Amino acid sequence: MSDYKPSAAEVKVLRDQTGAGMLDVRDALAEAAGDLDAAKKILRERGQAKAAKRGGRTTTDGKVASYIHGGGTKGVLVEIGCETDFVANTDKFQEFAKDICLQIVSSDGTLYVSVDEVPEEVKAAEIEVYRSQAADKPPEVQDKIAEGKLRKWYEEVVLLNQPYFRDEDLSVEQVRAALSSEMGENIEIKRFASYTLGQE
């Protein structure tokens, strides 16, 4: 920790940008010696660590959110769980649920919530395609290329791995973890259903 003492104005700016608690913001600014970007990174890392600790707690409350795209040609339902109805009824939780609907409706390829949901045979088939595309390379290079392309594919089809549409420097998982940290309880995107007119 540095001897830097952030001003009230700096604390307010970072709180407005991140929604983090005042003491967390002050400590992050002090550690980053007033560098806003570095302080944001510190807050994200701490938020993910706190969220990981909460990850095992059950989410029996929550909301089902919906969004119908203009013209009624696309729609999304998403179930987001939390631990208490108090959190489920907060504006921040409901805004997050709405944003997740918008995230899904704006990316046609979203198929899974998390990497854990991707069937092993689907992963294996993707890896095989990527390896065959690099067939002229040595096997260890094929493996590296396949791993990189698989990560990129996850960013297209796995909701939590996607760049968050409001800030593409963050993944949906990082945004979820930050909200979980801020709310003090586990928040989980449980499932979703996406509909497009004329498609099955």
How many separate domains does the chain show?
Answer: 3
CA-CA distance, 94 to 96, in Å (whole number)? 5
Evaluate the CA torsion angle 130, 136, 138, 139 in order and state its sign: positive
Is 146 found in the same domain as 163?
no
Residue bearing tokens 């969004």: 67
Q: Is residue 3 part of a domain?
A: no
Span 109-118, average pLDDT:
94
Task: Provide CB contacts within 8 A for 72, sequence distance 6+.
Answer: 197
Predicted confidence (pLDDT) per residue in 56-107, tens digit: 566 789 999 999 988 889 999 999 999 999 999 999 999 999 999 999 998 8
Tokens matching residue 44: 């994200």
Predicted confidence (pLDDT) per residue in 6-64, tens digit: 888 888 877 766 666 677 778 888 888 888 888 888 877 776 555 555 555 667 899 99
Is 49 found in the same domain as 15?
yes
- Given this model, what pLDDT does residue 49 score? 52
pLDDT band at 112 (very low <50, low <70, confident <90, very high): very high
- Given this model, what pLDDT does residue 45 score? 74
Q: Does position 124 have pLDDT exceeding 60, yes or no? A: yes
Predicted confidence (pLDDT) per residue in 167-190, tens digit: 999 999 999 999 998 888 899 999
CATH, residue 67: 3.30.479.20
Are the CB atoms for 59 and 190 separated by under 8 Å? yes
Query: What is the CA 127 to chain-centroid distance, rounded?
Result: 24
Between 108 and 180, the more confident residue is 180
- Given this model, what pLDDT does residue 55 score? 54
Task: Provide CB contacts within 8 A for 31, sequence distance 6+.
Answer: 1, 2, 39, 42
CATH, residue 43: 1.10.8.10
First-last CA distance in the chain: 56
- For 197, phi and psi rounded to 5 degrees? -55, 130
Q: Is residue 1 part of a domain?
A: no
What is the span of the domain harbouring residue 40? 8-54
The pTM (predicted TM-score) of the whole model is 0.70
- Given this model, what pLDDT does residue 46 score? 72
Q: Is residue 23 part of a domain?
A: yes
- What b/e readout covers 44-69, taking b as 16+ CB neighbours within 10 angstroms? bebbbebbeebeeeebebbbebebeb
Between 16 and 129, the more confident residue is 129
What residues pair up with 44 in beta bridges, in sequence order? Answer: none
Residue type, 119: P
